[in-house]
Amino acid sequence: MTQSGEVLNYQEMMNKYYEVLSPAFDKIIGGQIAIAGIATAATLFLTVTLFVIDRKKEQIAGIQRWGFKSH
């Protein structure tokens, strides 16, 4: 029931609900995309850095990778 006393059907009620919460949903979704992008960049940076450091240590120790000789 609205303030004026009229009864809303389910579809009208869902439309009003969406109308009120849509801006909040848009902000939440936008924030999640930014957070996911930052997390992806940090993960890639960390993975590559650790891979390069590990590879240098393997070369210094003379460890062969995947059965191939190191140059």
CB 16 within 8 A of CB 8: yes
Distance CA 20, CA 67 (A): 62
Contact residues for 28 (Cβ-Cβ < 8 A; gap 6+): none
Residue 18 tokens, joined: 């969406």
pLDDT at 24: 87
Predicted confidence at residue 4, as pLDDT, reads: 60
Per residue in 24-68, pLDDT (tens digit) is: 888 888 889 889 999 999 999 999 999 999 999 988 988 877 755
pLDDT of residue 38: 95
Mean per-residue pLDDT, 16-25: 89
- C-alpha torsion 58→60→63→65, nearest 10: 50
